[in-house]
Amino acid sequence: MTEQAGSIARERLEAFLQKLERTNVDDLIVIALPAPDRRQRADQLAAATLAASRTGRDALLNEARLRARELLVAGFARRAYDPTWFGLNWGRSLGRSADRAALLAAAEDAAAAAVVEDLIDVALVDDLESPFMSVAGMRGSAPAVNPMLARSRIGVGGRLALLVVIALTFTWGLAGELLQILIAAIKSRADGIIDF
């Protein structure tokens, strides 16, 4: 492998992995990829592996697939624990295991394509990377994990209404406490009168 071609391949791989690391797992699971055809995928990976081994990039190819898999599995692991104010949000799903496996395969294939894209024909590069790129193109389409209100949407009226609700809640809570104290005092006094 020539030094320059190898360093360019590594740069492409690092750029892909940085993009993968910044990708929100929730966006990746918005749509489910079909399971890849095993024979077709094996042929594609064999062609990529052959091209990589001929130029001394086989170690880089293996590293690319492993790092892509590890990044995505780590993203799934982080996303699996989803605490809320009231406990864990068990209602959110990472999708079926078959969908996640197809996504892992697509990420590995796209990483492999980044390593050998200058060695194989454009159609094969497209076949290897397009499944993952189509899913990664869903950026921002997943529902927000913890929706936030934008400050610009809450006007003066909204802030005033919020203050009124807080004040009323506090007032009613205080009034309830005072009523409980009053009832307890009357009860203890009544209990004292009956005992005589």
Per-residue pLDDT tens over the stretch 68-125: 999 999 888 877 776 667 766 666 677 788 888 999 999 999 999 999 999 999 999 9
**pLDDT above 70: percentage of residues in the chain:** 83
Interval 175-184: pLDDT, tens: 889 889 989 8
Rounded to whole angstroms, what are the CA distances from 65 to 70, 74, 103, 115, 154? 9, 14, 13, 10, 47
Alpha carbon dihedral 52, 58, 61, 62, in 10-degree steps, equals 150
Q: Give the pLDDT score at 90.
A: 64
d(CA 12, CA 114): 6
Check residue 158 and give its pLDDT.
75
**Rg (the chain; Cα; Å):** 29
Q: Is the dihedral of CA 65, 9, 55, 60 positive or negative?
A: negative
Domain boundaries, the chain: 3-136, 157-195
Q: Yes or no: say if 20 and 68 are a contact pair by the CB < 8 Å rule.
A: yes
Prediction pTM value: 0.67
